[in-house]
Chain A
Amino acid sequence: MAYSSILDWIVFKDVMANPFYPYEAYNLPFDISYKLWELLGGLIAWLINLIFPGNGVSTWLISDEVSNVFALVLFMVIIFLVAFVVTLLSLWMERKVLGRVMDRRGTMIGLKGFMQCLADGFKTFMKENVIPRKVDKKTYMWTVALIVGTSALIACMIPLSHRWFVVNYGTGLLIIMALFALAPFFILVSGWAQNNKYSLIGGMRAAELMISYEVPMLIMIATTCLLAGSFNINDIVNLQGDTMWFLIPQIIGFITFIFCATAEAERVPFDIAEAEAELVEGWQTEYAGMKWGLIMLADYLRGYVSCAMVVIMYLGGWLIPFVSSDVNGWAPEIVFLLKVWFVFFIMIILRGALARVRTDQIVNIGWKVFMPLSVVNLAVVLLLKLGGVF
């Protein structure tokens, strides 16, 4: 065989027909990455085959097993890139909307100011890696990695639709919640490791903040799961499509959860761990350059996850009510992201309008306001459940 057509190598096989396909249902990003690998791997295989006709490497490259492995690698990149871009867009939106709230323009560099986000990212990454002499170096560096890592992990684990997910867990919400609650521990450790009083107080405050909002938040998650009868995100969203948005039966829970989610993302008015007025930058005081940039990224990733949880639990996920399932099948990812940005918009307005609460006030709010409200919410849902409405 002197010459083989490239189309012999790139055939765009059906991803579901691959015996090693890792999912039960159709997965769009995996499909995309599989096709991408077919293009890439097929091209390489064809080239190698041109030079060494009939070799084993070419056929190995496009075999079912190998395609699957490389498709999974590309899959990871795609999933992270989407989460990253979504976060950058949230950041851009915050800058513009907050700017308008404050009667100024916001960022103005390129693409209505979007390029400023990239410029800032590059700037922080180009900076010198400054490590203060008296910090506990290992802990100091590792906590950043862990905070950013866990935040990126949960941001990637948020499913954008029934066909855009990483793993379709039976216990989806619980796992997201568990990973979400990890960061305050790292913040506490990081605050201690920096050998700085502001950081130490900031770290302590992160723990103080966590004990105040975590319990009502978990109760509300349990309430939603009770209503849906499942921890699986897909089931929760589908049930909302079948019946109604959980916003309607759980309106108390929705309002409380938005505040808890704001606290979870450590945004104003609950950003007491990095209260700049008294603690300079709180637990981030000693981080500079790239580490600070990554921490900022992690902040916005967590903001995105908080909003996504609100959307999944109360706003019907990726489904639009009162339209046929065909319409819902067109671009559920876009619908989901639009809803996420809408919730983020509410958070931005909150940031523009409110002041920072005090540490004793947040504990008071958490245990004397959020807690009873979440229990009332639970009672309402129990009554509905008993009454047979759901």
Chain B
Amino acid sequence: MMSRDVIDIKAETSALHTDKMWVIMGPQHPFSHGLWTLKAQLDGEIVTDAEPIIGYLHRGWEKECENRTYPKIIPMADRLCYAASMTYTHLYCMTVEKALGIDIPEKAKYIRIMADEICRIQSHLMWLAAVGTDLGNLTVFLWAMREREFFMDLNVRMCGARMTTNFPRIGGVRNDIDEEFMMFATRCVERFEKAIWDIISMIDDSSIFVSRMKGTGVLTREKCANLGITGPAMRGTGVDFDVRRDDPYDNYDQIDFDVPVLKEGDSYARYRVRIEELFQSCRIIKQTLQKVKAIGKNAPYRLKVPSKVPAGRSFVRMEDPRGESMMYLVSDGSDKPYRLKVRSPIFVNVSAAKPLVLGSRIADVPAIMAMIDMCLGETDR
């Protein structure tokens, strides 16, 4: 039987006891990528207590959805997370499709998967850039942003927008992808698989980078699962779980990919997991391109769907770049949702800030929290 006090954390203390002081990091602070605050109590340089504060960006997203018809929510879902906008739109569309009880065309499924993985790469590259600045190196930031730009261009070719793409639709996707896009996507991915080694070797070959990440923010597997941390941060602690593989949605069960899992549980393991996921995403994109090609040019990519959703409940969870996200829809038979709940991975991950940073040095706090990959749009909703 597991004990109830898995999470009972004993703070490390420094040998030299000084007056404790609260340092308030945020909402205007270089380390908080977005508007949130971490109150940290310091004993010298050691963090003895911490409290995350969020809510600066709360818009009442879920309540606003109750006032809009189903298709109108799609562009709003884009705004949940600016770094990987298509994943939330995808999730929303899947939830409504499940409530409608329809099965969308194969081609749309693959295109959505591909869009998801492009977003995952974008999001992970943005995270990599943030890690660079949090560790005090701007070169990584700019190199990662440069790589991200190629995938932005891919977005533009796919749907005409860079960030808030408004691409998936209830019952499919907005437009088909053409031969030219497939060629560009293949080239972009193949180029990326080589170019990313610049950044990886820069970080992994440098003992400063590695020593800054190794052994900081350590969590055990049980603690991590209990805290509700999901996504790459969780797989870095040894939880072997990925919604794409273990609870597949769309056509992820038709695609061959690995789920990287490391057991160390420190920041470096989380970093390694995310880097490995970049390569897996490239693999998935290549496979989906082949599948779309095999399905053929004139296959349907979108269904006509009724505007009213029958009364009922449905939920879908998916693997966001940052963790496990979920939407729960309660519909009452009208053309507007009765209640739409978003489960954001960062909302829960950031609530674990205290056990993550406790006992580490203040200098490590940015590095540890960078591994969570903050995104406040979805956290505050």
Contacts and interface: CB of A to CB of B under 8 A. Distances in A.
Interface in B200-231: 202, 206, 208-209, 211-212
A352 B367 CA distance: 18
A197 interface: yes
Interface in B133-155: 133-139, 141-143, 146
A201 B134 CA distance: 18
Interface string A317-360: 00000000000000000000000000000000000111111111
Contacts of A275: 136, 363
Contact of B23 (A104, A198, A269): A198
Nearest to A269: B208
Contacts of B212: 355-358, 361
B202 A276 contact: no
Interface string A199-226: 0010000000000000000000000000
Contacts of A279: 362
B146 A103 contact: yes
Q: Find the residue from A198, A278, A354 having the highest chain B CB count within 10 A.
A: A278
B137 A278 contact: no
Given A102-B142, A103-B143, A361-B211, A201 B362 contact: yes
A222 B136 CA distance: 33
Contact of A278 (B31, B142, B206, B208): B31
B143 A357 contact: no
A271 B364 contact: no
User: Is the interface on chain B under 10, 10 to 19, 20 to 34, or 35 or more residues?
Assistant: 20 to 34
Nearest to A272: B363
Contact of A102 (B31, B134, B139, B364): B139
Interface in B18-48: 21, 23, 25, 29-31, 42, 45
Q: Which of A268, A275, A352, A358 has the most CB of B within 10 A?
A: A358
Interface residues of A, number: 28
A355 B143 contact: no
A299 B25 CA distance: 26
B185 interface: no
Interface in B49-79: none
A93 to B, nearest CB: 17
A353 B364 CA distance: 19
Q: Chain A CB within 10 Å — which of B21, B25, B139 has the most?
A: B139
Nearest to B23: A197
Given A357-B208, A361-B211, A278 B139 contact: no
Given A103-B143, A197-B23, A361-B211, A277 B136 contact: yes
A277 B132 CA distance: 10
A280 interface: yes
Nearest to B45: A359
B189 interface: no
Identify which of A355, A357, A358, A359 gathers the most chain B CB atoms within 10 Å of its CB.
A355
A268 B139 contact: no
A170 to B, nearest CB: 40
Contacts of B362: 201, 278-279
A277 B135 contact: yes
B265 to A, nearest CB: 19
B321 interface: no
Contacts of B361: 358-360
B136 A359 contact: no
A211 B134 CA distance: 25
A361 B206 CA distance: 14
B45 A201 contact: yes
Contacts of A102: 138-139, 141-143
21 contacts: A102-B139, A201-B362, A269-B208, A276-B30, A277-B136, A278-B25, A278-B362, A278-B363, A280-B29, A353-B137, A354-B206, A354-B208, A354-B209, A355-B135, A355-B136, A355-B137, A356-B208, A358-B212, A358-B361, A359-B45, A361-B211
**Nearest 6 pairs between A and B by C-beta?**
A356-B136, A355-B135, A102-B142, A277-B366, A355-B137, A358-B363
